[in-house]
Chains A and B, each alone.
Chain A
Amino acid sequence: MISIETKRQLTLPLAIAMALLSITGCHKKSAPLQPQNANAPAATTTAPTATITADPLVIELGQSVVLNWRTTDATAVSIDGIGQVNVNGTQTVSPSNSTNFHLVARGDGGTTDANVRVTVRVGTVPTAPAGTGGDGDMGSDAEFHANVQDVFFDYDSFDVRPDAQASVEAAARYLNAHPATKVTVGGYCDERGSAEYNLTLGENRANAAKTALVSAGVAATRVRTISYGKERQFCSEEDESCYQQNRRAQFQLDR
């Protein structure tokens, strides 16, 4: 949902810009100057030159970049994804992903390319993106999982580790911003140990995660626990990294 939201915000200004640009481009093409240029015998053999720059070259998701290009001896200039543009110009863009802006300058003397790459960093996402609210919408799974992250446990322990506190608080913030959301907490254990004992240990883990959410202000009635013990596993390798994957409290939307 986050990427879709952001794209929607991006596409509108881009579309307007492209529309404007193409209009001006067309206007230039049909200008009476063009035939005169074409008739100038000295200029016909000179190849076009082109440069394009972006400022800044690296942005966070949602920020914008100013593209600046200069060409000489070009009759038609286009940028992939934007379309026909002036032979010299600037354009503000806000790409959702890292993008190569590819400029092609065509002139009577040939064709020249220029490139600039804008890197988009996807950092921490906003805890309460605009557009969702407490109107009964539980939000998407992707949005939920991006904000409400699973809690992992030490061996034979059901204490929420200090390093999980931050993610529990982020989860509580998200849940408090989305009061219609209901949560199922699944308790899981690694494959060592006995099945019956692990079911109760998983219950304790799910409960510990629930208690952490409740302490952070989430209503207890919105959170349901289920222990899966070691009956369901996220991975099956016999090593500590897999065991750690399986010692968790998993949050899911309770639809």
Chain B
Amino acid sequence: MKFRLSLARKGAKFVAGCVTAFVLSAPAAKSQDWFHLETNRGDSDRIRIAVADFKASSADPKTAPYKRTFDATLFNDLSNAGIFDMVSKAMNPQSMPGFQAELSIAQWSGAPGNASMVAFGNLTVQDNRLVVNGFLDDTHNTQFPQIFAKQYNEDGSDDSARQIAHRFADEIISRLGGGIPGIAETKIYYVKIGDGGKEIWEMDYDGANQHAITHLGSISLSPRVSPDNSRLAFSSLTHEGFEIKMYSLLLGRQVNFAGAGGTNVSPAWAPDGQHVAYSSSRGGDPDIWVSNADGSAAHKITSFRGPDVSPVWNPRTGAQIAWISGRSGLPQLYIMDADGSGVQRLTDGGYATSPSWSPNGQFVTFAWDRKYGPGAPGGQDIYVMEIASKKWIQLTHDGGRCDFPSWSPDGRHIVFANSPDGRGAHTRIMTMNADGSNKRALTSSGGDMPNWSWR
């Protein structure tokens, strides 16, 4: 099941800016057959869900802090999912149900909350273990309201309270969101801008748990995590120039990737996890090369004078690659078959960079400055283009310089880098729903080049 959001219905303020430009760019398109993003429902047909504060069922002093973390994380996860109409906690009934028998459905389904769904449960700390029982009820089914019950039992820590909340939220999102797995357990890899250089960092999808992966004391860029979350490919400055590096997230150290001369940047994983595409100038001119995941069997798939960079595979089919080429002047967005044949140009001008292919293979999001040049109006913003029709919409407006969009595995969110004043050092990481709504910062200044894990 797909969530369909007719963007034309989404409200004049969002559409107004897009439509003018849209008509200019695609004169053949009719205004009524707007394309549907696999993203949010319209506000009217979102499921209204209430989340009860969980009941503390133990006297252990750690119960209260764990419960605070858990309650906040669960509410944020469901709110961030973008498919729910959240009932404000202020409208919840006074009673705090910990078990099915303690839930009075009428209290939740009636005014003022009018919830269709209720998530609730209890939380216990015992012998340094954190035990959480979570329930999801359908208030319209008064006879058999329970949709599911889950128990989680982990070593007690603030982090495990957060991770349990993520897993319970993902379970709810999967049940109520058409079977598409939630993203509360996904990670975002990014570049941390420090005093002495740039390192690769990792954080949870909601910006929590930010920590360093590399300590190379160099300039490391473009982290790309493998589809199975086992390895991280990135590019790092060495004495010989930028080289592709491979880091094992399981072994916690770098693993082999065959080096080559020239500038080697912007790695991308094939969905099979066996191949990597990247830009290499080992032949003198930067072209897109494809190799095995250890750098062996490298071969060139583009051959044109000028920069070719930032490849990304179609994650659905693995049969196509989108990338950026400067073969005709300013960088433009192109796609080709994975063997280098069937080249098509998708953008018609301006300065286009940093593509990311949607998980369903239908769209590509990228950064675009449509009127690039000294004194030109507008700036670099995030766009989504439907590949089949080449129709596009603009997702960011007047928020400063935006770059490096990366699609979440559920296709409902896009993480990107944003610099409010355009300065590189002030770049931070932001996330938004795939229709441009609900923008919020995940890091403070000093985060760049985010890459969302595949699952």
Contacts and interface: CB of A to CB of B under 8 A. Distances in A.
Contacts of B353: 193-194, 196-197
A42 B284 CA distance: 89
Interface in B400-434: 403-404, 422, 424
Contacts, number: 90
B265 interface: yes
Given A199-B242, A204-B285, A230 B424 contact: yes
Contact of B286 (A200, A226, A228): A200
A52 B184 CA distance: 89
23 contacts: A155-B374, A156-B329, A193-B351, A194-B353, A194-B380, A195-B221, A196-B221, A197-B307, A197-B309, A197-B310, A199-B235, A199-B263, A200-B308, A200-B326, A202-B263, A203-B262, A203-B263, A203-B281, A203-B286, A204-B306, A228-B237, A230-B424, A231-B219
Contact of A227 (B241, B284, B331): B241
Interface in A157-202: 191, 193-197, 199-202
Interface string B242-266: 1000000000000000000011011
B367 interface: yes
Interface string A209-248: 0000000000000000111101100000010100000000
A204 B307 contact: yes
Given A156-B326, A196-B221, 11 more contacts: A155-B374, A194-B403, A196-B310, A196-B353, A197-B331, A197-B353, A202-B263, A203-B263, A204-B285, A225-B263, A231-B221
B324 interface: yes
B242 A194 contact: no
A233 to B, nearest CB: 9
A71 interface: no
Interface in B265-284: 265-266, 279, 281, 284
Most buried by A among B222, B307, B331: B307
A210 B319 CA distance: 37
Nearest to A203: B263
A197 B404 CA distance: 12
A200 B264 CA distance: 9
B330 interface: yes
Nearest to A199: B265
A225 B329 CA distance: 22
A200 B279 contact: yes
Most buried by B among A193, A196, A226: A196
Nearest to B310: A196
A84 interface: no
Contacts of A202: 263
B449 interface: yes
Given A156-B330, A197-B353, A227-B242, A204 B266 contact: no
A144 B265 CA distance: 31
Interface residues of B, number: 40
Given A199-B263, A207-B281, A194 B331 contact: yes
A198 to B, nearest CB: 9
Contacts of A207: 281, 284-285
Given A194-B331, A207-B285, A230-B424, A200 B354 contact: no
Given A201-B326, A231-B219, A196 B263 contact: no
A231 B266 CA distance: 14
A191 B424 contact: yes
B33 interface: no
Contacts of A231: 198, 219, 221, 237
A193 B222 CA distance: 15
B240 interface: yes
Nearest to A243: B374
Contacts of A194: 310, 324, 331, 351, 353-354, 367, 380, 403-404
Q: How large is the interface on A (under 10, 10 to 19, 20 to 34, 35 or more residues)?
A: 20 to 34
A200 B237 contact: no
Contacts of B219: 231
Contacts of A203: 262-263, 281, 286, 307
Contact of A196 (B237, B285, B354, B422): B354
Nearest to B417: A195
Closest 5 CB pairs of A and B: A200-B307, A194-B353, A200-B286, A203-B263, A226-B241
A156 B240 CA distance: 24
Contacts of B380: 194
A225 B265 contact: no
A194 to B, nearest CB: 4
Contacts of B351: 193-194
A200 B403 CA distance: 17
Contacts of A196: 221-222, 265-266, 279, 309-310, 324, 353-354
B334 to A, nearest CB: 13
A197 to B, nearest CB: 5
Interface string B347-366: 00001011000000000000
Contact of A226 (B240, B308, B424): B240
A240 B330 CA distance: 18
A200 B263 contact: yes
B435 to A, nearest CB: 24
Nearest to B238: A226
A204 B281 CA distance: 9
A63 to B, nearest CB: 45
A214 to B, nearest CB: 11
A215 B90 CA distance: 75
Interface string B430-449: 00000000000000000011
A175 B76 CA distance: 64
Nearest to B353: A194
Given A191-B424, A230-B424, A200 B265 contact: yes
Contacts of B449: 195
Interface string B370-406: 0000100000100000000000000000000001100
A226 B262 CA distance: 7
Interface string B184-226: 0000000000000010000000000000000000010110000
A231 B219 CA distance: 8
Most buried by B among A155, A195, A202, A238: A195
A200 B285 CA distance: 8
A195 B220 CA distance: 12
A227 B263 contact: yes
Contacts of B284: 207
Contacts of A201: 307, 326
B123 to A, nearest CB: 44
